Amino acid sequence: MKIMSVNSGSSSIKFQLFIMPEEKVISKGQVEKIGFDDAICTLRYNGEVYKKVLPIKDHAVGVKMIIDGLIEHKVLKSMDEIKGVGHRIVQGGEIFKKSELIDKRVLDDIISLSDMAPLHNPAHATAIKAFKKIMPNVPHVAVFDTTFHQTMAEDAYMYAVPYFWYSKYGVRKYGAHGTSHKYVSEETNKLLSRENTKVIVCHIGNGASISAVKDGRCVDTSMGFTPLDGIPMGTRSGSLDPAILNFMENKLNIGTDEMYEILNKKSGYLGVSELTSDARDLEAAIDKGNKKAKLAFDLQAKRIADYIGSYYVYMGGLDALCFTAGIGENSPRLRKLVLDRLSVLGVKYDEKLNNENKLVISTNESKVKVFVIRTDEEVMIARDTMKFIK
Ligand code: AMP
């Protein structure tokens, strides 16, 4: 059966079309710049890339372009071949503890969480409405980035602030990248051939987060109320002393909105290196002796190691450490910087295996297995969607 996995933003819709349960991707693509006269529709199939630039006024037109493209290029004979659509949703708050079939109540609840994910949830809702209008007779399933983290205990998800901030306004840690953390920790358990495991997943991409997963359930994660928290990222600062906000707002004569813009978009690698948010460019600069680029990488590696140490203590040990996402999967340098700090935990790795981005990079003597695992959020969405198809 064919299932579509969808990741939509305010001006884009990305999709992958799977054959399930084989989990084979037969086509993928995206519509970008929705709302513009020069929107771009890209479709990949059988090694070919088909691209069109044309006006796409809204998400509904974008969805139609995708379906028409799949039929035009003979990926599908008709739309009816798609038996379900899974939608990635960034924020599920405390309402959603698992993936859900999207009905009016679920859609309303997704919209009700918009103030916690203003850039994402409204855009997801717009795309869901567009898909449901064009494909009303198949199940549409919401798969949330936050549900995997809903198993955290109070001592992990609460902040030490007045309690009513939580009870009245929902201020707590929700985490993000949950679908990736779930996928990678499940793959890890398969590699370990058991379920009762203590695993740390380092999802290090442009956005970056770490999670502690005990017996397949998330017990802590580094992103917080929003994805700004935790370790430094491509452009995000990660956690910092909150007193800095007011201090620097006064020094720079700026308001809180501009401060958040700086912490979200101009910090992290970009802020420290004053050069780039991209890890590859940062590494090229380090090779040329750029000290600030090196500091940006070192800062992040130190903070990743800090989290690993803290989760080691919280879980009472560690069976496996996994690196995933753009940098985690592809940067031996970043992994080395982190792993060299972990010898106290009995972590030993093989330089050659690390340099080759192999699946297992720990040595046989290592007390902790170290894996490099390619994440696959789309297949998780397709898997969850399949469960709702009768
Ligand atoms: P993601 O957000 O998971 O797509 O990851 C994006 C980040 O991965 C960017 O900073 C890229 O520079 C980085 N990245 C991708 N490929 C490599 C590579 N071969 N070496 C180092 N970093 C990489």
The domains of the chain are located at 2-144, 193-372
> Cβ(278) to ligand 1 under 6 A?
yes
Q: Which of 30, 179, 206 is the best mutation target for the ligand 1 pocket, counting ligand atoms within 8 Å of the beta carbon and taking the most?
A: 206
- At CA 63, angle to CA 58 and CA 67, rounded to 5? 150
Q: Provide DSSP, 4-60.
A: EEEEE-SS-EEEEEEETTTTEEEEEEEEESTTSTTEEEEEEETTEEEEEEE---SHH
Are 87 and 8 spatial neighbours (Cβ–Cβ below 8 Å)? yes
Rounded CA-CA distance 298/251 in Å is 27
Q: At what angle do helices 59-72 and 121-134 cross, to 10 degrees?
A: 50
Q: 80, 115, 145, 257: which one is catalytic?
A: 145
Of residues 113, 171, 139, the one with CA closest to residue 6: 139
| Ligand 1 center from residue 278 Cα (angstroms) | 7
Instruction: Classify domain 193-372 at the CATH superfamily level.
Output: ATPase, nucleotide binding domain (3.30.420.40)
The CATH code for residues 2-144 is 3.30.420.40
Place of tokens 């929902």: 170
Are 75 and 85 spatial neighbours (Cβ–Cβ below 8 Å)? no
Do 193-372 and 2-144 have the same topology in CATH?
A: yes
Task: Respond yes or no: is residue 103 known to be catalytic.
Answer: no
Report the SS3 class of residue 221.
strand
Rounded CA-CA distance 326/377 in Å is 13
Ramachandran class of 325: left when φ > 0, alpha when ψ lies in -120 to 50, beta otherwise = left
Are 219 and 153 spatial neighbours (Cβ–Cβ below 8 Å)? yes
| Ligand 1 center from residue 247 Cα (angstroms) | 33
Tens-binned pLDDT, residue by residue, of the chain (390 aa): 999 999 998 899 999 999 999 999 999 999 999 999 999 999 999 999 999 999 999 999 999 999 999 999 999 999 999 999 999 999 999 999 999 999 999 999 999 999 988 889 999 999 999 999 999 999 999 999 999 999 999 999 999 999 999 999 999 999 999 999 999 999 999 999 999 999 999 999 999 999 999 999 999 999 999 999 999 999 999 999 999 999 999 999 999 999 999 999 999 999 999 999 999 999 999 999 999 999 999 999 999 999 999 999 999 999 999 999 999 999 999 999 999 999 999 999 999 999 999 999 999 999 999 999 999 999 999 999 999 997
Report the SS3 class of residue 146.
coil
| Ligand 1 center from residue 300 Cα (angstroms) | 14
> Cβ(287) to ligand 1 under 6 A?
no
> Cβ(202) to ligand 1 under 6 A?
no
Are 268 and 234 spatial neighbours (Cβ–Cβ below 8 Å)? yes
Q: Which residues contact 280 (CB under 8 A, 6 or more apart)?
A: none
